[in-house]
Amino acid sequence: MDTIDAFFQYHHYATVGIEPTSTYGAFLLGKLRGAGREVDVVVDGGTGLERAYRSLREVPLPLDGVIFNIEKDPDRLLRDVEVAVALGVPRIWIENRCSAAAAVAYARAHGVEVVDNACVLPGAWVGNRAGAVIAGAWDSWACIEQAG
């Protein structure tokens, strides 16, 4: 998967490891939901927020894609990607700053489309019209600064 457009052309997504009450998380969810997408949130311990779950297994299916932001824990990232694959998720996005080599290899070996090492915010800003931008070219800190 080479473009942001290809990832965001669908309707039902989940985020894993993105705190929905943080500036970054609230901005991302607002942009995705504002563009008419259904977005479920998976966070440690769940929250009292609508559409928030403790596990990807609890999210209503089918999912068109999952956005992962699990930093500094490649084993957990791999486990969660394995769950996504088992649930039949066809595409995943792994944020930059994540140690993702094993998770990316596992997903691709199971036919899952992968955007890896890219900030998701530029795609969320522009909805389905991101153009033919190679996702890895986005700068993570610029993305976070623009969200905050």
CATH code of 4-147, in short, is: 3.40.50.720
Confidence (pTM):
0.82
Q: Is the peptide bond before 62 cis (omega within 30 degrees of 0)?
A: yes
Across the chain, mean pLDDT equals 81
What is the pLDDT at residue 127?
A: 45
User: How far lies 63's CA from each of 37, 43, 144, in Å?
Assistant: 11, 17, 26
pLDDT single digits (tens) 44-75: 776 677 788 999 999 999 999 999 999 999 99
DSSP H helical ranges for the chain: 4-7, 23-34, 74-86, 101-109, 121-126, 140-147
pLDDT single digits (tens) 83-105: 999 999 999 999 888 889 999 99
pLDDT > 70: percent of the chain: 77
User: How far lies 103's CA from each of 32, 51, 117, in Å?
Assistant: 24, 25, 12
CA 86 – CA 124 distance, rounded (Å) = 26
Q: Which two tokens stand for residue 27?
A: 């901005």
In the block, tokens 């600064």 appear at: 145
Residue 2 has pLDDT above 60, yes or no: no
In the block, tokens 């998380």 appear at: 25
CB 40 within 8 A of CB 59: yes
What is the pLDDT at residue 114?
A: 93
CB 41 within 8 A of CB 49: yes
In the block, tokens 């140690």 appear at: 99
